[in-house]
Homo-oligomer: A and B are copies of this chain.
Amino acid sequence: MTKNSVLDIIHSRRSVRRYSGKSVSREDMETLVRAGMAAPSSRDTRHWYFIVIDDAEMIKKLVDGLPYAKMLSSAMHAIIVASDLTQAHGGVETEYWVQDCSAAVENVLLAAQSIGIATCWTAAYPRPERVAFVKEVLGIPENVMPLCVIAVGYSAGDDKPRDKFDSNRIFWNKWDTK
């Protein structure tokens, strides 16, 4: 462990698409959800839901229905982050719920990385066909909107982190001022 493991974890996390299939304990899955719930939400509405998948049959259904979530077939675990739009600040009218749930997702990804578990964020919202499929297969009610399906598992490979820093993307005090 180095001086600041948070920065290390933030910079070493990356999306993983090849997994070993090794089982993740329910205790660890709950650790990830707890981290998600510690995210900020607009007006502290905490309107999110976390549906944890560790059942092989449900994983198969998700793989069959979600073209961009094929890595679930080796990850074997997933977390769906969703919002009750009747509880979120601004409701369906604004994208506050998207911002809140995305912060929760990032917490899940970093918490996972910190305990040696790999992840991949795959979008459901705003693709209508993916949203409809996820709602149908999980039995999610009308007023709840799934944002994404996070693949969760142990990496099968040796995924190298990438340095994504780009000094052209920072300005100081005004647009275009280096």
Contacting A98 at CB < 8 Å: which of B7, B10, B102? B102
Which residues of chain B come closer than 8 Å to A169, judged between CB atoms?
A: 33, 37, 46, 48-50
Quick check: is A125 within 8 A (CB to CB) of the other chain? yes
This protein's copies in its complex: 2
Q: In angstroms, how far is the closest chain B Cβ from the Cβ of A37?
A: 5
Q: Name which residue of chain B comes closest to A169, CB basis.
A: B49
Say whether A5 contacts B7, CB under 8 Å. no
Q: Mark A115-148, 1 if CB is under 8 A from B, else 0.
A: 1000001010110000000000011110010011
User: Which B residues are in CB contact (< 8 Å) with A158?
Assistant: none
A13 at the interface (CB under 8 A from B): yes
| CB-defined contacts of A11 to chain B, threshold 8 Å | 34-35, 38
Within 8 A of B (CB), among A52-69: 52-55, 58
Query: Once the chains are docked, how many angstroms separate the CA of A176 from the CA of B51?
Result: 9
Is B123 within 8 A of A46, CB to CB? no
In the complex, what residue of chain B is closest to A33 when comparing beta carbons?
Answer: B170
Chain B residues lying within 8 Å of A4, measured Cβ to Cβ, are 5, 114-115
Interface check A39, CB cutoff 8 A: yes
CB–CB B110/A10 < 8 A = yes
Q: Is the CB of A105 within 8 A of B103?
A: yes
Q: Which of B26, B99, B165 contacts A102 (CB 8 A)?
A: B99
Nearest-CB distance from A163 to chain B (Å)?
Answer: 8
Are B111 and A6 in contact, with the CB atoms below 8 A? yes
Taking CB atoms, residues of chain B closer than 8 Å to A13 are: 38, 40
Q: How far is the CA of A127 from the CA of B107 in the complex (A)?
A: 25
A-B pairs, top 7 by smallest CB distance, nearest first, are A102-B102, A6-B114, A106-B106, A103-B106, A139-B175, A55-B173, A99-B102
